[in-house]
């Protein structure tokens, strides 16, 4: 018999108490142990009832919900906390996740959405994958969409200098491929200490690559889908850790397994790497069919490109695997493109023009610029890069 999930509701304004009573009665696995309206009640009932899960409203004016999360976890470190956000309060999701919340749902939600969220969250953490409603849904969808043979392409975006625009290229390449093909596209954010892919795509990830590392012994095509955040264009994202210190849980063995699983279900896997030749990055580069080496037109970047290409040559990477892309191209910087190609010994695959206003607006809004007017020079040039990989 499937285990019952014991739930404690914490909500000062009674929204969840009224909503969940009706919803949870429809699902025999979900049982409400109690309802609390303040911090002291929540702490007392957690100690007394020892629930599996706390479902908490984020909008509670009289006390600090983030502080309460820490206090609850001090009582029971294994307590599963689900937070319910309004549209107005969804910008606090990252703060809540850093405090210890590992799942959330945004109002308004349907009964089916809430039941599916709670059961999936519990089953995933308890290793009870057989009872997952969402897994069955994903499996059914995959069976309908699955191609007989997927010729997956792994493309890593690399650079040895921060700030050259790797993440911008990764996001827009993925979205561009999604627009021009009917293929399945995934992004893996491997900038483990400073990844911004989710931010640049206006995503609020429930789970990250750090959470996925805890399920490596179970990892398959179905499990990994649980950790992918979905962009409006259909691009799936495996987010970087929320906290930089969480990167220590990720190693090259995990990355190899993740990429192998992704190639079974995605046609393109775009990997945004950190600016280094770390073990994790080297694994991604080794497994990539193509590497986009991103640079800008300045002396430090030219030096790093030359050094990086020499290292890749010693690693026996085929020359046709590595492609040099110039980002933020503009005239009168004192260095010519001819000088860059001569110094690096490699021709440029693409030149993305400088457009500071468009790029910064896209980042701040979380809207990839490739979705803008196709006649804009930056969009037109970038679509040429996209076409190269189709």
Residues 196 and 93 grouped into a single domain: no
Same domain, residue pair 109 and 190: no
Residues 92 and 221 in one domain: no
Q: What is the pLDDT of residues 86-97, one digit of tens each?
A: 766 666 787 888
- CB neighbour list of residue 164: distance below 8 Å, 6 or more residues apart: 294, 295, 296, 301, 327, 328
What is the total count of domains within the chain? 2
Tens of pLDDT along 329-363?
A: 887 677 888 888 998 899 999 999 999 999 998 98
CATH number of the domain enclosing 362: 3.40.50.300
pLDDT digits (tens, 9 = 90+) for 229-253: 999 899 999 999 988 888 888 899 8
What is the model's pLDDT at position 290?
A: 97
Based on the domain organization, do 161 and 102 belong to the same domain?
no
Identify whether residues 60 and 164 lie together within a single domain. Answer: no
Do 115 and 166 belong to one domain? no
241 located within any domain: yes
Reported pTM: 0.68
pLDDT higher than threshold 70 for residue 172: yes
- 62 and 166 assigned to the same domain: no
340 Cβ partners below 8 Å, 6+ apart?
295, 297, 302, 305, 326, 348
**What is the domain extent for residue 260?**
153-388
C-alpha 228/C-alpha 289 separation (Å) is: 22
Check whether residue 127 and residue 177 sit in a common domain. no
Shared domain check, 206 and 271? yes
pLDDT at 128 over 60: no
CB-based burial label for 157 (10 Å; 0-12, 13-18, 19+): buried
Residue 147 resides in a domain:
no
Q: Identify whether 282 is part of a domain.
A: yes
Q: Is 138 a member of any domain?
A: no
pLDDT at 72: 94
- Same domain flag for 274 and 346: yes
């Amino acid at each position: 018999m499937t285990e019952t999930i014991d739930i404690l509701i914490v909500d000062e304004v009674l929204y969840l108490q009224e909503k969940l009573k009706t919803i949870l009665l429809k699902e025999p696995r979900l049982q409400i142990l109690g309802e609390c309206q303040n911090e002291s009640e929540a702490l007392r009932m957690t100690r007394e009832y020892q629930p599996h899960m706390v479902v908490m409203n984020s909008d509670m004016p009289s006390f600090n919900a983030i502080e309460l999360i820490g206090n609850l976890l001090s009582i029971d470190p294994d307590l599963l906390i689900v937070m319910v956000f309004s549209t107005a309060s969804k910008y606090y999701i990252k703060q809540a996740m850093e405090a210890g919340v590992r799942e959330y749902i945004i109002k308004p939600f349907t009964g089916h959405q809430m039941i599916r969220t709670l059961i999936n969250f519990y089953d995933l953490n308890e290793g009870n994958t057989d009872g997952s409603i969402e897994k069955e849904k994903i499996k059914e969808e995959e069976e309908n969409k699955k191609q007989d043979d997927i010729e997956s392409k792994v493309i890593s975006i690399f650079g040895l200098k921060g700030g050259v625009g790797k993440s911008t290229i990764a996001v827009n390449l993925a979205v561009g491929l999604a627009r021009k093909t009917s293929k399945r596209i995934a992004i893996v954010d491997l900038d483990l200490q400073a990844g911004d892919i989710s931010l640049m795509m206006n995503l609020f990830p429930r789970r990250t690559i750090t959470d996925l590392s805890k399920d490596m012994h179970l990892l398959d095509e179905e499990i990994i889908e649980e950790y992918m955040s979905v962009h409006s264009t259909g691009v799936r994202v495996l987010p970087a850790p929320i906290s930089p210190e969480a990167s220590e849980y990720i190693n090259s063995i995990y990355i190899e397994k993740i990429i192998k699983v992704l190639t079974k279900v995605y046609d393109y896997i775009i990997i945004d790497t950190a600016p280094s030749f770390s073990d994790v990055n080297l694994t991604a580069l080794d497994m990539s069919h193509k590497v986009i080496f991103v640079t800008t037109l300045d002396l430090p970047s030219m030096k790093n490109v030359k050094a990086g290409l020499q290292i890749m040559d010693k690693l026996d990477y085929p020359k046709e695997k590595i492609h040099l892309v110039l980002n933020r191209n503009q005239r009168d910087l004192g260095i010519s493109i001819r000088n860059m190609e001569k110094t690096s010994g490699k021709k440029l695959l693409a030149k993305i023009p400088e457009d500071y206003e468009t790029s910064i607006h896209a980042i701040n809004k979380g809207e990839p610029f490739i979705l803008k007017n196709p006649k804009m020079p930056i969009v037109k040039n970038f679509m040429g890069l996209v076409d190269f990989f189709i």
